[in-house]
Structure 1
Amino acid sequence: MSKFESSSVTKAFQKSVKSYLPDSLKLIAGVSGGPDSMALLYLLHRFEMDAVVVHCNYQLRGENSEKDQRLVEKMSSFWEFECVSVKLENESMNNFQAWARERRYEIFYDLKREFQADFITTAHHQDDQIETILQRMLRGAGLTSWRGIRPIEEQLFRPLLEVSKGEILKFVEEFNIPYRIDNSNEESTYARNFLRHNWFPEMRKFFPGWRDNILKLRDRAEEYELMADEILKSVRMDRKSLKREQFMELPEKIRSAILVHFIESATKEIDISSSIRSISENLIELQSGKSIQLSSNYKLVRDRDLITLNRISDEKKASVELKKEDLSQIKAVYGHQMSIEEYDGKFEDNRLYADLSKVSFPITVRHWKDGDRFQPLGMEGTQLISDHLTNRKISSAQKNDAFLIETFDGNICAVIFPHNTSDDQIGTLSESVRCSSETKKVLVICNQT
C-alpha cells in the first residue's frame, strides 16, 4: 500500500465517497485556496473525479485575494479541472460572513444547474463539525440540531467531515499540496474564530478528550430523534396531521417537543423553537375551525379531531395594488395595516412612518425578488434586499416571507420582515421617504392587531 493510500485523509475520503456516491457523478467543488479545500481538490484529482472548481474572490485582502484566485486557477488547470472564478464586492453592512456564505452558495447552486452537476462538494472537516455543534448548543438550539452537519444533505457532499484539521495540515505538507492562509481567519472577530482561537486551547488544558465528547453528542441527538419518531408515529395521522386526542394526552414537555418534531418533519421553512411552548398550550383551547399562525406561510388548524399543518394559499400572497383611497377601506394586506395619519413628530415601536408627500400612488405590495434594491434609512447608496435581510438576521427559510412596498414610480419605500427582529423592528423604511420637519402626513405601517 502506497503512502497516499495509507493516509487517514485518503481513507476517510474513500469511505465517504463509497458510502454516499456509489455512482460516477459530476460535482461542483468549492475551493478557496486554503489547506482544507486544496486537499479536497487534490483528492478529487487523484481519484479522477468529474468536477468543476469554483472560487469566490471577495477582494477583501488586495493582492493576497488575487494570489488565492491565481493559485486555485493554476492548480485546477494543472490537474485538468475546469475552473470558474467569481469576483464579488462586499455589500454587507454588518455580518460579512453570513453574506459571503449566502452569496457563495447561490453561485454554487447556479453553477450546479448550469453544468448539470449532481452535488456540490466542500471541504468541511471535523473541527468545523465541533464548532457547529458548540454554536448550536450555545445559541439554545434543539437537541436534534446537535447532530451537527452531515456528510450528505440534499445537494451538498462533505467527504472530509471525519478528518481533523491537524490531519489535513499533515496531509498537504506530506504531499506538497500548495495552499494559502487567509490571515483574517486568525482574527477572533467572528464566532467560529473566537471558539477556535480563544476557547479551544483552554478546553484542551482543562478537559482532555472534550472533542470526542462533543462528537458523541451526535449519537445522543440521533437517539433522541429516533425516540421522537416513535412517539410521533403514535399521534400522527399523516405527514401534516396530528390526532388531537392522542397528542393532548402526552405530558406537557413531551407534547411541545413532539410538536417541534412534527413541524420540522413536515417542512424546513419554519423556525418556532422559541415560542413552541406557548403554541402547544394554545392548541389545548383551540376550537374546531380556528387556527394558530406559525409564519406568513404556515398555520396550525384545528379540524375536529385533527390538528393540521396548512400552507397558506399562495393566492393570498399575490401582489396587491392600492390607491390612496383604498387605505381607509382595507383591513390588512399581508397581515399588516396601512393608514394615513397626521404627523406629530412622534414615533411608536413596531410602526413605520413614511412621509406621505414622498409616496407616489398607487403603491404595490409584493414579495421581493432577486435583484430588488433599495436605500435603507440612514444609509448612503443602495443595497440588495436579499443582503439586507441577511444583515437583519432573517433566516434563509424565512426570507421568502418578507415583502416590500413599491411606489408608482418604482421606488421601494419599505421592506417588511416576516417577523419582528431581535430589536423589535417590523421592517426597514427607505431613506427616500424619511420624515422631516416639513412632513405633514405619514403613511403608517404596522402589524395587524
Structure 2
Amino acid sequence: MNDLLAQFRTHWHSAFAALGGKPVLLAVSGGVDSMALLQLFIDSSIPFAVAHCNFGLRGAASDLDEVLVRDRCLQAGVVCHITRFATKEMAAEWKKGTQETARILRYEWFGDLQQEFGYVRTVTAHHANDNVETLLMNLFRGTGIQGLHGILPDNGKLVRPLLWATREQIMEYAVANNITWRDDESNASDDYLRNAIRHNVIPEVQKLFPGMVDNVNGSIGRFAEAEQLYNKAVKAEIVILIEKRGSDHYIAIRKLRHRTPLATICYELLQPFGFTAAQIPQAMALLDAGAGKYMTSGTHRVIRDREFLVITALAPADADMIQVEGAPCTIDTDRYSFSFAIKDVPASIPADKDVAYIDAGAITFPLLLRRWRTGDHLYPLGMGMKKKKVSRLLIDLKVPLHEKEHVWVLECNKRIVWIAGIRPDERFKVRPSTRQVLVVTRTAK
C-alpha cells in the first residue's frame, strides 16, 4: 500500500501548505490509525513530534500502549511527549463522564505543548469512517447545516490529514508495512454511541450501499461548500434584520415576518446569543405575543417590545458571564460590584486582593467577566510563569466548596487576566514600560 503514502504526501503538501513546513504535534494513542499515521509522517520527512496520553483507564494495557509509543519514537529518533492523568479522579472531581474528562485533559495538554514548543497544530488520525460516523450522529441528534460538514480538516488548532482514507485502507497499509499497534478492547464495546453506530448501523447500510463511506464523504465535501454559500446568505440577512443600539440588538418584527425560511433565519439570528434550535418555536411565537413577553438563554433575553424583538444581556446579577465593553464602568453581579477605570501608573502598587492593576497596553476590549469553570488556567503572578489550573489554586488556598461558585475571573482574548480577589496573571502585570493601568476593584455588596 505504498499508494497510501504517495496520496498522503500529495494531500499534506496541498491541503496544509499554509502551515509553511513548521513542526506539528502528532497525537499517537498506540492504535492502528495513529501508529500508521506516525509511519506516514516518518516516511514523509514532515517536521513533527509525538504526544501520548496515558489515562490509566485500562491498567497494565494503558502502560503497554505507552511503552509501544515511546519505543517506536526512540527507534525512529522522534521527540515524544508523554503524560499520565488520574482520569477517574478528575472525572469525579469535575462531575463529568470519563470520556469527556479524558477529552478535556488531552486537548488542554496538547494546547499547552503547542504553546510551549511552538507546534503550529496538533494532528490526529481521524479518517473517512470517523467522518461518516460523526455525520450520522449529528443527523440522528438533529443538526443544522453546520453539523453536515463532518470533521473539519483544519479548525485552527487541530488538523486531520487522513479524512480521505478509509479504515480499510489504513489497516492494509499497516499490515503491508509491518506496523505494530495495540487494540483498545473498549472499542469492541457498544457502550459508547460512536461504537454502537460503527458496529450496528454502518455494517447494515453497507450491505445495501457497499460504497457508502466514499459516497457519504463525497457528500460531506459538497455540504461543506454549500455551507459557505449558506453563511454568506445568513450574514446578508443579519445586516438587514439586526440593528445594534448600545449593547442591545433590535430586530424589526415587520421585516422579520416577511423573511423566508423564517424558522431557519430565526435560528441563525438567535443562536449567537445562546439560544438553541429547540427554542425557535418559542421565539417565533413572540412575533404574535403581547409587549413584555420574553424568553431567555443562559446569557441573554429576547423581549417583545411593540415593533421589535430586543436581544439584551441578562441582568448582570443573573448572568454567569458579562461583556465589559470599556472603561470606566461598573458591573454588578450576585455578590460583588466590579468597577473598571483606566488610570496613570501609580508610584507603587497597593497590596489589596480586591484591586487588580493591569497593564492597559496588554489588554483589548471587550473583556469578559465570568464565573470560573473547569479547565481554566493562568500563570499566577509571582510564580515565575508557571501555569496553574484555577481549580488547583482554589484547593491550595483552601477556598471552601460553597464559596467556589462565587469566584469570578476576568478574561481577555480567552486568557485569564485576574481571578477576582485571589491572584492576577503574570502576563498582564504592570511593567516598567507600562504607561497606563486598568484598575479593577471588587466590592462586596
Give the shorter-chain TM-score range: 0.5 to 0.7
Mapped pair 1:293 → 2:290: no
Mapped pair 1:412 → 2:422: no
Give TM-score, length-normalised by structure 2: 0.64
SS of structure 2 residue aligned to 1:153: coil
Mapped pair 1:14 → 2:24: no
Q: Which residue of structure 2 aligns with residue 149 of structure 1?
A: 151
Q: Which residue of structure 1 aligns with residue 233 of structure 2?
A: 230
Q: Mapping of 1:203-282 within 5 angstroms?
A: 203-218=205-220, 219-220=222-223, 222-223=225-226, 226-227=229-230, 229-230=232-233, 232-237=235-240, 244=252, 245-251=254-260, 254-263=261-270, 267=272, 270=274, 272-282=276-286
From 60, 68, 71, the equivalent of 1:71 is: 68
Deviations 1:401-432 (A, max 9, x none): xxx9xxx972337969xxxxxxxxxxxxxxxx
Give TM-score, length-normalised by structure 1: 0.64
Measured in 1, the distance between the counterparts of 2:399 and 2:235 equals 52
Measured in 2, the distance between the counterparts of 1:9 and 1:43 equals 6
Q: Mapping of 1:51-90 within 5 angstroms?
A: 51-89=48-86, 90=88
| Structure 2 CA distance for partners of 1:186 and 1:272, relative to 1, 3 Å | same
From 179, 191, 203, the equivalent of 1:189 is: 191
Out of 275-284 and 114-123, give the one that drifted further: 275-284
| Structure 2 CA distance for partners of 1:57 and 1:286, relative to 1, 3 Å | farther
**Residue 228 of structure 1: how far off its partner (Å):** 5.7
**Residue 63 of structure 1: how far off its partner (Å):** 1.9
For these two proteins, the number of residue pairs brought into alignment is 334
Measured in 2, the distance between the counterparts of 1:116 and 1:318 equals 38
RMSD: 3.8
Deviations 1:97-146 (A, max 9, x none): 22211211111112111112211111111111011001111111223311
Q: Is 2:9–2:44's contact at 8 Å kept on the other side of the alignment?
A: no
Q: Which residue of structure 1 aligns with residue 335 of structure 2?
A: 320
Q: Mapping of 1:374-389 within 5 angstroms?
A: none
Measured in 2, the distance between the counterparts of 1:118 and 1:68 equals 26
Measured in 2, the distance between the counterparts of 1:243 and 1:271 equals 15
Q: Which residue of structure 1 aligns with residue 431 of structure 2?
A: none
- Ranges in structure 1 where 5+ consecutive residues have no aligned partner: 323-365, 373-383, 387-403, 417-449
Q: Is 1:235–1:243's contact at 8 Å kept on the other side of the alignment?
A: no
Measured in 2, the distance between the counterparts of 1:76 and 1:29 equals 11
Q: Is 2:26–2:122's contact at 8 Å kept on the other side of the alignment?
A: yes
Deviations 1:174-221 (A, max 9, x none): 222221111111111111111111222222223433334433442246
- Ranges in structure 2 where 5+ consecutive residues have no aligned partner: 314-321, 325-329, 338-369, 377-388, 407-445
> Given residue 143 of structure 1, which amino acid in structure 2 is its aligned partner?
I
Considering Cα pairs closer than 8 Å and 6+ residues apart, tell me whether 1 or 2 has the greater RCO.
1
| Structure 2 CA distance for partners of 1:183 and 1:320, relative to 1, 3 Å | same
Mapped pair 1:368 → 2:356: no
Q: Identity of paired residues, percent?
A: 28
